[in-house]
Amino acid sequence: MFVHRLWTLAFPFLVEISKASQLENIKSLLDIEDNVLPNLNISQNNSNAVQILGGVDALSFYEYTGQQNFTKEIGPETSSHGLVYYSNNTYIQLEDASDDTRIDKITPFGVDSFILSGSGTINNISVGNQILYNLSTLSMTPIFNQSLGAVQTVLADNSSIYFGGNFSYNNGFMTGYSALIWDSISNTTQLLPFGGFGENSSVNSIVKLNNDNILFAGQFYTLDDPSALISSSNNGTNSTSSLNATTLELGQRIPLRYASWDSQGSTTFASDSLVCPNTNEDAWLYPDTSGSLVCNLPYEVSPTKIRLYNSQSSDSEISVFQILTDPSSSIMNLTYLDPLSGELKNCDEFCPLYSRATLLSASQNVSSSMDMITFIDNNKTDVKWTSDFQDFAFVNELPVSSLKFVALNSYGGSVGLSGLELYQDTFSTYANDSLNEYGCSALTNDSSSSTLSSNDWYNGLTGESYIAAKYVPDQNEPIPRVKFYPNIIHPGHYTINMYTPGCLQDNTCSARGIVNVTMWNQQNNTIMKTYLIYQNNDNLKYDQIYSGYLDFSPEIVLEYVSGIYTTNTATVVVADQVNVITVSLDAFNTLSDSSNAKKETLLNGILQYQKSNFTSTRLNETKVGNTTLNLFPVKNYPKNSSLYADIYDNKLVIGGVSNRISIVDLNDDFEVTSSKNQTIQGDVHGITKTNQGLLIFGDILSSNNQSAVFLFNGSFENVFNQSRTVNSALNISLANNDFIVLDNDYVVNASSNALIRNSSSFSLSLWAAGNNGDGDVLFSGAVSHMQYGNLNGSVRFLNENEIEPLNLEGGIVPYLGAYLNESATAYAYEVDSLNKIYFSNEVYPSWNWSSGITQMLYADNQTLLAVSAGSSTTAELSIFDLRNLTMIANETLGSNARINALVNFEKNCSMLVGGDFQMTEPNCTGLCLYNYESKTWSTFLNNTIFGEITQLSFTNSSELIISGLFETKEYQSIRLGSFNLTNSTMIPLLSGSEGKLNSFTVTEDSIVAWNDTSLFIYRNQEWNITSLPGNDSSISSVSAIYTDIESNTLNKRGINNVNNGSILLLNGNFNISQYGYLQSMLFDFQKWTPYFISETTNTSNYNPIIFINRDVSTEFNSQSPLANVNITVTIPQSTSSQPPSSSASSESKSKSKKKKIGRGFVVLIGLALALGTVSVLGIAGVILAYVFKDPEGDYKPIKPRIDENEMLDTVPPEKLMKFV
């Protein structure tokens, strides 16, 4: 009952909220239309009293296209890894994804976007690259050019997005671990100022404390730049080095993007990966214990060191190597810092390369990060090592055009490298900007660049790095110009040279000209230096354009001034490179001062990152200090703890290991003022923020040793107990209900803590969800949401789009109904394999049938109820007197018989039975007359109407409409016919060999018949066949809903005015591509409208049907006596009267408080209705007598038709309709 209370009662009365800003936009982009229902004038108290019987369990009125995607209960076959949008009771499938795609996190960003984190792909875009999903355009953009791996937390801080998890990212200069920043405005990626949190770390939570402070929680104890943890005082001067010693590069990495490689014999070689190392994969593998790799440089350089990343596989790690270069054709002498001894050593022919395991062990045993770096050549070259690589400096600085790396031995059976980098001690910025590109994500130090004017620049000589352009003044060409942007990172003294290639080698001396070189301070847009340079030098030269102090990156502009020789009309302008040489860095002053007393801040899973500490220009500013917040987990949790954290009501909640949850009070400066612990059993695996507070989950045991999930909202509350560990907890709000989803397995209502199990009315699969606070919810998963659930098998309509359960006493689930009077209805239901009848005034008669009840007919004047029942092998007819609940008659037809229709001739006490059966005595085929007074069977018109009868109905007391597939002596293959009881004349209305009609209904201006797939409509004096929309659609029943109840008279209405006529309500199964699978459609004789989707109960053996609970007695009861002419009376074929079933008890189960239908009350109602009927029939008789007379004043039997069309043209069906 919980789900029913939640969804069926709350949903229809939800307060209308403003639609989210993106809902209507998304509808427009995806062509989603609202489904507007016509005014059906349905009410539980009028003649449009609509009910659904037969086992309906859940129902949704169709409100918008695409709704069908969210109405089928989730099963193993359901795709649940795509993206779904929800707002204002509307679900929209935005993207599909395969089962191997997993979105783990959805983070709102801005007013119209979300960030998707996870694995797999959506629309061929890697989710691991982090996707920016824009709702305004429904577009997806990858944020990074590589997959981050396991992202566990994302924080959107204005335009800066922080990513945390267990991953590494190489920016071309260094590798950072577990954290990364994306700037959405510049669309750039950067590591944190301290890099990250070291190898084998993870970040579980990122919490914004204020605009300047961000809290990182996870499993870490250091930073990628450990110097940020060091504070020092120099004899009381409080001077602190601003030099990031372990990540500083005194030289520039040489771009190798356009180098050519000789890797002959290698089994694996990827040059892009080699020069942009990924420590988790090999870029070069050679299948032997020795091998070589040759790098042919695009131009000649003078490298100062080489950095080598050994193979990530222990079987292919290199143990010994050597380096050979050209044009010197010699083995190079190298210098390296030994990780084991900490000493500076030299090698040449046999240089050692340590394994990854050795480097990792050594890095964990150093007393300080300064033990992993040294500086040589008067602090011009840095030589260092980490757990990933080793540096080897060239003792002799020689020009190199080609370098050969030779692996001499291996720790295993093959040799390989994850990366190889070359460095030089100058910063070169090339005019040809492609030479500045590294071929990988190079940021920060490696971001030197250049721009060119729009002249026709071309490459100089092959093997050279310069470019050139021919310029003729006054030809409407732009002035040749090159802008260089060398990147200066560390404040210090520098020398800057401008290189100019010689003119002899390209034979342009007579065409060279004069250029101006200007150096700009970009901070204040002022000129620092300016020079004129003549470019007619025979050989390569450089001009010093600056020498001095720099603490910013300048802009250097080279621009054409004039030609040198007046005889030349065209000038050749050349541009090569700007070269920056480091003279000294400010930070070395404090780094080399041995009197500094250094102190390292200890970390244990919590870092308070204050952004302003890393942007301050003061050298004595502490980057990461021993704040009380940083020290709290150091003092209170075991070393190397994995912690989670979040803020609730200015309280910091920390959870992890050691059987506790810490509640920390902070002041305005984020200093810990107090704390207390909540003792738990087990470990915390996560903290999720919900609308009710913080959800804390993991391997936590409650007092009864079941897994517990706690909600903290100032105090702790247990919201879940199950015998399992909880690894994921998500919060989502749908239809004004707040849900908590645990491990995508359990759904808990956050308000009541009640567990919600998937059902036909509501089911949910959820991997990730995000809510932007403006009503836009985006989630990865699947949902099935029916507006009404737990309907208990039957419902009644309160209006055209509102229902409620019928809720009959005793939980009865009826599958068939019959109107008795305004206060009583008869319902057929099944219980314990027996079929029974219940009266809605709480009367339980004792009758029962072993087979299902197929028809119920009530004769009000006689207070008589006729019931047919049957199975695939037999059929029964039972007739009861409701005045005393006694059986009048009971007949069993032969085998393979089925009763489909009943009409009653009250004056004759006879029931005309139609169906699919064969009697021999009397000779009846599909149509036979039963006298329930004499309990005898007789033929109807001597069996001159025979076949399969599906429906019988009176249009007036003397006109009987018959459907099915039957014949007379005159006509064959009649599908719909009208039989005049007065003169025994049959008028075929529809004929043909297309098969039987299932049934029909007569509205006030139409005849509507149907088979499984089509409607046959006579309207406006013509027949039309209307096929059902969609594929594999089928009709169960058709009911006419009068849209103007007050005008429901015998007067004919305007045919085209739907509001003053009727609408057809179809029940069945309709498969329409635009709407999906529906169980009901509306048809106003012009267009189809989807009506509702329903699900059946698992316990019902019957399909849901539409039951119009109104008086239809005139359609199935005739007051006219049936003439005995040509009627053969015979001895009944069946046995004498017996109870409907001898196998079931006949005792009444009525309780003392239940009332039987009293004789007096029934007689009074019957008398009143009889008087009304007589009045109506009197008026109708006058009208019909006029309409149905022919010009000669009497009826004549119609001659046999020549063909079907002639038959239809000859017999206008309007002569048969009661309203004409």
Considering only CA atoms, which of 839, 882, 837, 877 is closest in space to residue 861? 882
* H-helix or E-strand spanning residue 908: none
The radius of gyration computed from the CA coordinates of the chain, to the nearest angstrom, equals: 45
Per-residue pLDDT at 571: 94
Per-residue pLDDT at 813: 93
Q: Indicate which CATH number applies to the domain containing 449.
A: 2.60.120
Whether 225 and 325 map to the same domain: the answer is: no
Among 360-364, 1002-1006, 1176-1180, where is mean pLDDT lowest? 1176-1180
pLDDT surpasses 50 at 69:
yes
* Local confidence band at 353 (pLDDT 50, 70, 90 cut-offs): very high
Q: Indicate which CATH number applies to the domain containing 280.
A: 2.60.120.260
924 domain residue, yes or no: no
Helix (H, G, I), strand (E, B) or coil at 1216: helix
* Local confidence band at 310 (pLDDT 50, 70, 90 cut-offs): very high
Looking at 533, 553, 584, which one is the last position of a domain? 584
Check residue 1188 and report its DSSP letter: H
* Local confidence band at 719 (pLDDT 50, 70, 90 cut-offs): confident
Helix (H, G, I), strand (E, B) or coil at 511: helix
> Across residues 999-1021, what is the average pLDDT?
91
Check residue 1129 and report its DSSP letter: B
639 domain residue, yes or no: yes
DSSP calls for 515-572: EEEEEEETTTTEEEEEEEEE---SS-EEEEEEEEEESS--EEEEEEEEES-TT-SSEE
Q: What is the mean pLDDT of the chain?
A: 84
Identify which of 40-44, 367-371, 556-560, 1215-1219 has the greatest average pLDDT. 556-560
Asked if residue 1113 lies in contact with residue 859, where contact means CB atoms within 8 angstroms, the answer is yes
Cα-to-chain-centroid distance, residue 861:
60
> Across residues 1029-1046, what is the average pLDDT?
85
167 domain residue, yes or no: no
* Local confidence band at 616 (pLDDT 50, 70, 90 cut-offs): low
Looking at 424, 446, 464, which one is the last position of a domain? 424
At 536, give phi and psi (nearest 5°): -95, 35
Whether 263 and 289 map to the same domain: the answer is: yes
pLDDT surpasses 50 at 1153:
no
pLDDT surpasses 50 at 1178:
no
Whether 703 and 567 map to the same domain: the answer is: no
DSSP lists the bridge partners of residue 580 as 427, 496
pLDDT surpasses 50 at 1155:
no
Among 83-87, 234-238, 520-524, 945-949, where is mean pLDDT lowest? 234-238
Distance between CA atoms of residues 186 and 529, nearest Å:
30
Distance between CA atoms of residues 349 and 519, nearest Å:
45
pLDDT surpasses 90 at 945:
yes
474 domain residue, yes or no: yes
87 domain residue, yes or no: no
Whether 529 and 455 map to the same domain: the answer is: yes
Distance between CA atoms of residues 159 and 447, nearest Å:
21
Domain encompassing residue 558? 429-584
Per-residue pLDDT at 1190: 37
124 domain residue, yes or no: no
Distance between CA atoms of residues 830 and 1101, nearest Å:
9
Identify which of 257-261, 520-524, 971-975, 1206-1210 has the greatest average pLDDT. 971-975
pLDDT surpasses 70 at 524:
yes
Strands 1117-1118 and 898-905, by their bridges, are parallel
Helix (H, G, I), strand (E, B) or coil at 444: helix
Whether 560 and 447 map to the same domain: the answer is: yes
Per-residue pLDDT at 489: 78
Per-residue pLDDT at 1206: 37
Q: Is the peptide bond before 1029 cis (omega within 30 degrees of 0)?
A: no
Check residue 5 and report its DSSP letter: I
Considering only CA atoms, which of 33, 45, 25, 138 is closest in space to residue 87? 25
Helix (H, G, I), strand (E, B) or coil at 27: helix
> Across residues 436-442, what is the average pLDDT?
68
* H-helix or E-strand spanning residue 445: none
Looking at 361, 396, 424, which one is the last position of a domain? 424
Considering only CA atoms, which of 1059, 832, 1093, 1058 is closest in space to residue 64? 1093
Q: Tell me the HSE value of 527 on the side-chain side, using a 13 A CA sphere.
A: 8
> Across residues 838-866, what is the average pLDDT?
94
Cα-to-chain-centroid distance, residue 259:
45
pLDDT surpasses 90 at 887:
yes
Whether 700 and 569 map to the same domain: the answer is: no
**Residue 617: Cβ within 10 Å count:** 8
Whether 699 and 619 map to the same domain: the answer is: yes
Q: Is the peptide bond before 327 cis (omega within 30 degrees of 0)?
A: yes
User: Which contacts qualify for 22-26: CB closer than 8 Å, 24 or more apart?
Assistant: 22/85, 22/87, 22/112, 22/135, 22/136, 22/774, 22/776, 23/87, 23/88, 23/90, 23/775, 23/776, 25/135, 25/136, 26/85, 26/92, 26/94, 26/135, 26/138
Q: Is the backbone of residue 824 left (phi > 0), alpha (psi -120 to 50) or beta? A: beta
Whether 213 and 339 map to the same domain: the answer is: no
Asked if residue 142 lies in contact with residue 123, where contact means CB atoms within 8 angstroms, the answer is no
645 domain residue, yes or no: yes
pLDDT surpasses 80 at 942:
yes
DSSP lists the bridge partners of residue 947 as 966
pLDDT surpasses 60 at 1144:
no
609 domain residue, yes or no: yes
> Across residues 1047-1073, what is the average pLDDT?
64
Distance between CA atoms of residues 653 and 122, nearest Å:
35
Distance between CA atoms of residues 719 and 1152, nearest Å:
46
Tens digits of residue pLDDT in 380-425: 788 999 999 999 999 998 999 999 999 999 999 999 999 999 998 8
**Residue 473: Cβ within 10 Å count:** 12
Per-residue pLDDT at 1189: 35
> Across residues 842-869, what is the average pLDDT?
94
Asked if residue 1183 lies in contact with residue 1052, where contact means CB atoms within 8 angstroms, the answer is no
Tens digits of residue pLDDT in 259-282: 899 999 999 999 988 998 988 899
Whether 450 and 479 map to the same domain: the answer is: yes
Per-residue pLDDT at 1145: 30
Per-residue pLDDT at 1184: 36
* Number of domains, the chain: 3
> Across residues 68-77, what is the average pLDDT?
90
Q: Tell me the HSE value of 1192 on the side-chain side, using a 13 A CA sphere.
A: 3
pLDDT surpasses 70 at 702:
yes
DSSP calls for 179-229: EEEEETTTTEEE-BTTB-S-TT-EEEEEEE-SSSEEEEEEE-SS-SSGGGG
> Across residues 105-110, what is the average pLDDT?
96
- The residues, any chain, with a CB within 8 Å of residue 600's CB and separated by 6 or more, are 226, 229, 230, 368
> Across residues 1102-1116, what is the average pLDDT?
92
Among 294-303, 469-478, 1123-1132, where is mean pLDDT lowest? 1123-1132
Per-residue pLDDT at 231: 64
pLDDT surpasses 70 at 1125:
no
Whether 573 and 616 map to the same domain: the answer is: no
Bigger pLDDT: 244 vs 547:
547
Per-residue pLDDT at 606: 96
C-alpha angle 250/255/257, rounded to 5°? 160
**Residue 687: Cβ within 10 Å count:** 26
Helix (H, G, I), strand (E, B) or coil at 779: strand
Among 477-491, 506-520, 1034-1048, where is mean pLDDT lowest? 1034-1048
Per-residue pLDDT at 447: 56
Whether 312 and 415 map to the same domain: the answer is: yes
Asked if residue 913 lies in contact with residue 928, where contact means CB atoms within 8 angstroms, the answer is yes
Check residue 8 and report its DSSP letter: I
pLDDT surpasses 50 at 925:
yes
CA dihedral 1124, 1128, 1134, 1137 (to 10 degrees): 30
Per-residue pLDDT at 1061: 74
Check residue 432 and report its DSSP letter: S
Cα-to-chain-centroid distance, residue 946:
58
Whether 281 and 361 map to the same domain: the answer is: yes
* Local confidence band at 1172 (pLDDT 50, 70, 90 cut-offs): very low
Among 83-87, 155-159, 487-491, 972-976, where is mean pLDDT lowest? 487-491
Per-residue pLDDT at 220: 92
